[in-house]
Each structure stands twice: as structure tokens, then as C-alpha cells.
Amino acid sequence: MLPTLLLLLLSWPSFSLNLPAPPLSDPDEPARVEAPRNEAPAPRVRARRIGLHPRPSYRPNDPTRPTVCLIHGINSTSGSFVHLAPLLEREGYGVVLYDYPYNQELSRTIPAFVASLRAFREQHQDARPWSILSHSMGALLARSYVEGPHYADDVASLILIGPPNAGSALAPAQDMIQMLEALRSSIDPEGRTLMVLGERIGAAAKDLAPGSPFLDRLARNRPREGVPYYILAGDVGFLNKEIRQTIESRYRQIQRRSRFLGGLAGLALRNLPDVLDVLTEGTGDGAVAVASTRLEGATEHVVIPVNHVELIRGPIFYPDPGPVACQPFVSRWLAESLPIPTLAEAEAAPPAVDATVAVGGDGS
């Protein structure tokens, strides 16, 4: 019923938008996106084991190289940080990556993260606090640990990039997105689409739906005292405001012209405004609404004009090296919460525990 009603929205008499031609093929998994012809192929992300993977930069208990743990988002892997991780290392940080199955219930994913984090730190005898930087759904893992009963007072700061703190209206609305995708604006001239982020997300969709039992429980938590929460959001979706107004106008026409059909449309599309908030420039980043990223008690909340993937320059859309939108903010927040000490300060610090690290997980 929902796709049919949306088709009516798009094909009602006097509807005059010029629709772009549909893509010849759907994008594959993020690690296997093909670059357009005459362009270098996207970097391939190697398959990973689930768990924490240290990059060569990781040095447990080294006061001159603090650790940043990167947690990817939905329909992604730690390879989404292929452009960001090296920048952090050049600034002097050690990097640890976390991979997890993004398509299962968060009630299973979060305990697995907590257990993995505890085992990793014990294995490497790492006693120094880390900063956790997360993208998208990864923020819910990070928050659940820091705000939960198993927190071990080992996090210097949380940096949440595009976090769905109040969920995403796209999670339960994939049929609607399939239709609205035809109306994407010239914001994305190459034809790339953020709807790929919602494909094959499985059981996680239920937890990400606004008002889900999981999100209700998480909302009852309060930010952990002593841990700064930094939030970065984007507000560039793939519908412009004119296209949004056209969609809303078609919906109102259906309601006026047919009482029966209008009633069905009202039932099926009751969350249309929330979906449009996610997809429209100025109110969402194409995957998460700006309003959903906000969190009471956060240390800082910043909104910049980029889309959800562009926040971290994810290789699914941005395979080539270039500016990473979040970097200036991440650098400032790390300097505030996890500063790299001078040589004199490091020499004056207590000696670190000797720990050997198995190199791996380069995030490329």
C-alpha cells in the first residue's frame, strides 16, 4: 500500500517535476562500490573479524600517543574511516578500530562491544583513558557503554558524528525512501544516493526507529559526569526545500480529492514530515535529522553543511583522499579532552606498563 500511495503522489495530474533516469544498477556493499568510468576505483575494504583491531599507531600506555577508538555506523565497516584515521595518526594519536555486525539487535551488539573493549584493554594492559569517536549508529554503542553499569572510568571524551540519538525516521520507512529517491535534487549531481545507507540493515531498523523501546531506555540515561560529549551534525540532505514543498502539496491534494484515499494516505504517510526532515537540506543530513542528533547535557553541538557520509568522508561516496569535514572539530575536541603531552610532561609522567601490540586493522 505505501509504495502505491507514494506513486500517486508522484504521478498525480499536473505533477511536473523532471525525474532523473534511474540508475542502471544498485550500489553494492560499501566496501565494493564501483567508481564511475574514467575514475580511479574506490579503495577496497578488506573483510574484518568482529572486534577491536589496533592500527600500527596504537601504543598502549604511551603518554605521548593517546588512543582514539573509532566505531563505524550502520551498513558500514571500520573502512569508513580510511581518510580520517591517518589524519588522527599524523596529529600524534594511536588508533584502534571496532567492527561489529550492524544488522542485528543493539541489545546483542552493545554487550559484545563492552566485552570486546574490556578484553582488549586487559590483553594489552592498557590503563590510560581513550577517546571514543563514533559515526552514526556507532554513537549508540559508545553512549550505552559510557552511560551503562559496566563503565570502567576509561573514556576521556565521546565524539559523536551524525548520531541518531533520537533515532532516524528512515529506519522504518524504506518503502517511502525508494520512492522519494526519485526526487533527489541537484545537490547530488553524480546520482549518488544516501538511501544506500538504509539497505540491508535488518533487525537494527527496529531499534533505530524513533520511540523504540531501545531508544526510550537510552533516553532515560544522563551523560556520564566527567566525560565531555561533543556532537557534530550535518544538514545537507538530497532533497531541496522546493522539492519538499512539492511532495507535501501532492499529499494535500490526495487528501482533498478523495476522502477514502486521503484517509489511507494519512495513515500510511503519518510520519512523512519526519522522513522529509531527514532528507531535506537544512533539517537533515540525508540519514539523520539534525534534531535527532541533539542530546541534553552535551558539551558542544555543531552543525555544518555536509551530508551524513561526507561528515567523515566515507569512501562509499568519497573514495579519493580530500578534506575530511569533521577533522577540524575532532582535532579541537581531542586537544581539549585528550591532549598530547610535551616531551617534558611525558618524562615526568609515571612509567607506562610494558605491553606488546599485535599490529593489524589498518582501516583501508
Mean pLDDT of 331-349: 82
Q: Specify burial of residue 146 (Cβ count, 10 A radius: 0-12, 13-18, 19+).
A: buried
Q: Could you read off the pLDDT of 173-225 as tens digits, one per residue?
A: 654 454 455 444 434 444 444 444 444 556 788 899 999 999 999 999 999 99
Q: Mean pLDDT of all residues in the chain?
A: 79
3-state secondary structure of 92: coil
25's grid cell: 544498477
Looking at residue 265, its pLDDT comes to 52
Q: Could you read off the pLDDT of 92-150 as tens digits, one per residue?
A: 999 999 999 988 899 999 999 999 999 999 999 999 999 999 999 999 999 999 999 99
Contact at 8 Å (CB) between 114 and 145? yes
Q: How far is CA 39 from the centre of its chain?
A: 26
Q: Which of 275, 305, 309, 267 is nearest to 292 (CA)?
A: 275
Alpha-carbon distance of 254 to 256, in angstroms, equals 5
Higher per-residue confidence, 147 vs 341: 147
Does pLDDT of 238 surpass 60? yes
Q: Could you read off the pLDDT of 38-82 as tens digits, one per residue?
A: 434 433 434 457 999 999 999 999 999 999 999 999 888 999 999
Model pTM score: 0.77
Q: Which of 159, 174, 139, 144 is nearest to 278 (CA)?
A: 174
Q: What are phi and psi of 143, to 5 degrees?
A: -65, -40
Q: Which of 85, 91, 59 is nearest to 72 (CA)?
A: 85
320's grid cell: 579519493
Alpha-carbon distance of 55 to 58, in angstroms, equals 6
Looking at residue 253, its pLDDT comes to 74
Does pLDDT of 336 surpass 90? yes
Tell which CATH classification among 3.30.70.260, 3.40.50.1820, 1.10.150.120, 3.40.50.880 matches the domain 36-165+198-237+287-334.
Answer: 3.40.50.1820
Alpha-carbon distance of 77 to 305, in angstroms, equals 24
Does pLDDT of 334 surpass 60? yes
Residue 233 φ/ψ region, left for φ over 0, alpha for ψ in the -120 to 50 degree band, beta for the rest: beta
Alpha-carbon torsion angle 192, 195, 196, 201, nearest 10: 170
Alpha-carbon torsion angle 49, 50, 52, 53, nearest 10: 20
Contact at 8 Å (CB) between 50 and 100? yes
